[in-house]
Amino acid sequence: MSTLSERDKMIAGQSYDPADPHLIADRLRARILCHKFNTLPPEAATKAIAILKELMNAHESVMITAPFHCDYGYNIHIGLNTYLNYDCVILDIAPVKIGSNVLLGPGVHLYGATHPMNAAERRRGLESGSPISVEHDVWIGGRAVICPGVTIGAGAVIGAGSVVTRSIPAGVFAAGNPCRVIRTLETNTEEE
């Protein structure tokens, strides 16, 4: 018999029961904090930073424009000077790591959650997930979807509306459904 909690199994990418009372409480906590964040008046920047810090321990240099939604918050790790535009969603069943100086366009969704392909297994209600990593200096265009298990390499640009089902190397422009590398980007080593 497993000694791991359902939360531990979830974070480890194993099948877990989302109906576990502790996970239900964790999701409720995240929904309450997201609701508080999403209903703040625009001039309440200090309160917004405090809520994001409580939700996901975000640094004060992280900027998120409401509305924003996530499942748990505690599985989201964001670097410095990163911006998430309107209507971003992060299903942080598994760890979601977003580097520094990253830009997420409006409506970008990061899905760490997945379900069994077999219908009988889905009916059992179990879920699992795979981590997502968005490395430093990435720009993801609006309405892009990042699927479970994907890594987007440093300095990459993902075109708007893309569905990223496989990892993307550093320093490239990639776009489409499914997303594929279009070209290598010029590197700029100078600090601006």
Instruction: Give me the active site residues, please.
Output: 115
Distance CA 177, CA 192 (A): 33
- The total of other beta-carbon atoms located within 10 Å of residue 6's CB is 19
CB 106 within 8 A of CB 67: no
The one-letter code for the residue type at 131 is P
Contacts of 167-175 with CB under 8 Å at 24 or more apart are 170/135, 175/141
CA distances from 112 to 51, 54, 182 (A): 22, 21, 25
